[in-house]
């Protein structure tokens, strides 16, 4: 039986205005607490194992945002500040430190990245965010995250290059930016206010830039969903390379 998580659904018309990938491109983004601000078991001061490899490409400011409890991290590195092209790498943390296990080509927002995301700026937010909920138009492919299987994940319209968006929401993972962690990706509550956007997700790549989401190919979304383990407190670390190196 499909697992469900408690959610606060928007009407279908509102969803098209606020969720990734709808309404003519990837629709409006989502915001939530930094992963370092989210509640997670374990001490919050330690950010890497002593003497063990840390997450590569991250400077001290970014590393300080990664919770000590995190044992999985998806690092999404943009080609540059204004590029929609990026790479996503899944890291697992063990006593030996952080080790890459998978790497996937990705897209981000049309105009690149920003440290101060707002609704409609066509940039993805730089930061570290928890990953606590998933869902999709298709049934759960085997994730350990709470999964909301719903027809509300139907995507319509076309992307910035005219590519069809159909199927973009077959699988999604909510990025906890301006949202309540642990709720469905469809939850419309915006703790920072609606002007800061809402509905930033990992979802299926439609062949072009997004409004704020991060996309990887369908097969890679299934890999990501099957790999993420809430018991390992997964986070996403995302931004252009220069920002992440701060």
Using pLDDT thresholds of 50, 70 and 90, give the confidence band for residue 187.
Answer: very high
Higher pLDDT, 97 or 20: 97
Span 30-86, pLDDT tens digits: 333 455 444 443 333 344 445 567 999 999 999 999 999 999 999 999 999 999 999
For the chain, the average pLDDT equals 85
Burial class (CB in 10 A: 0-12, 13-18, 19+), 43: exposed
How wide is the angle at C-alpha 236 spanned by C-alphas 205 and 124, nearest 5°?
60
Distance in angstroms (rounded) separating the CA atoms of residues 170 and 194: 25
CB of 124 closer than 8 Å to CB of 113: yes
Look at residue 9 and tell me whether its pLDDT is greater than 90: no
Closest CA to 156 of 174, 173, 143, 168: 168
Higher pLDDT, 182 or 41: 182
Give the mean model confidence (pLDDT) for residues 149-175: 98
Residue for token pair 């840390």: 54
Distance in angstroms (rounded) separating the CA atoms of residues 215 and 120: 18
Give the mean model confidence (pLDDT) for residues 200-204: 98
User: What is the pLDDT, as a whole number, of residue 51?
Assistant: 52
- Sheet with 172-174, edge to edge strand ranges: 127-130, 235-240, 72-78, 85-94, 97-107, 214-216, 201-204, 172-174, 134-136, 147-149
User: What is the pLDDT, as a whole number, of residue 35?
Assistant: 52
Using pLDDT thresholds of 50, 70 and 90, give the confidence band for residue 183.
Answer: very high
User: What is the pLDDT, as a whole number, of residue 207?
Assistant: 97
Look at residue 150 and tell me whether its pLDDT is greater than 70: yes
* DSSP structural state of residue 183: S
User: What is the pLDDT, as a whole number, of residue 53?
Assistant: 78
Report the share of the chain in percent with pLDDT over 70.
79
Q: What is the CB neighbour count within 10 angstroms for residue 132?
A: 25
Report the share of the chain in percent with pLDDT over 90.
78
Distance in angstroms (rounded) separating the CA atoms of residues 215 and 207: 9
C-alpha neighbours within 13 Å on the C-beta side of residue 132: 23
Give the mean model confidence (pLDDT) for residues 94-111: 96
Burial class (CB in 10 A: 0-12, 13-18, 19+), 108: buried
Beta strands in the chain (DSSP E): 72-78, 85-94, 97-107, 113-114, 124-125, 127-130, 134-136, 147-149, 172-174, 201-204, 214-216, 235-240
User: What is the pLDDT, as a whole number, of residue 198?
Assistant: 86
Residue for token pair 């500040």: 81
Q: Which residues pair with 172 in a beta bridge?
A: 135, 203
| pTM, entire model | 0.84
């Amino acid at each position: 039986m499909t697992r469900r998580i408690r959610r606060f659904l928007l009407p279908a018309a509102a969803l098209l205005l606020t969720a990734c990938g709808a309404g003519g491109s990837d629709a409006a983004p989502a915001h939530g607490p930094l992963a370092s601000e989210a509640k997670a078991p374990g001490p919050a001061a330690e950010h890497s194992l002593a003497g063990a490899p840390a997450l590569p490409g991250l400077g001290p400011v970014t590393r300080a945002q990664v919770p000590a409890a995190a044992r999985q991290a998806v690092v999404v590195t943009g080609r540059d500040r204004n590029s929609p092209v990026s790479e996503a790498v899944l890291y697992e943390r063990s006593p030996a430190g952080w080790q890459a296990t998978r790497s996937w080509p990705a897209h981000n927002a049309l105009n690149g990245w920003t440290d101060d995301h707002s609704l409609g700026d066509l940039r993805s937010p730089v930061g570290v965010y928890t990953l606590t909920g998933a869902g999709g138009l298709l049934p759960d492919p085997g994730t350990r995250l709470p999964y909301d299987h719903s027809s509300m994940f139907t995507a319509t319209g076309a992307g910035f290059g005219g590519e069809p968006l159909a199927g973009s929401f077959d699988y999604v993972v909510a990025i906890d930016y301006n949202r309540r962690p642990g709720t469905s990706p469809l939850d419309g509550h915006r703790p920072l206010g609606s002007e800061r956007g809402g509905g930033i997700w990992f979802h299926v790549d439609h062949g072009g830039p997004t409004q704020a989401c991060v996309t990887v190919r369908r097969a890679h979304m299934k890999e990501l969903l099957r790999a993420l383990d809430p018991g390992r407190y997964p986070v996403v670390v995302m931004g252009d390379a220069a920002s992440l190196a701060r």
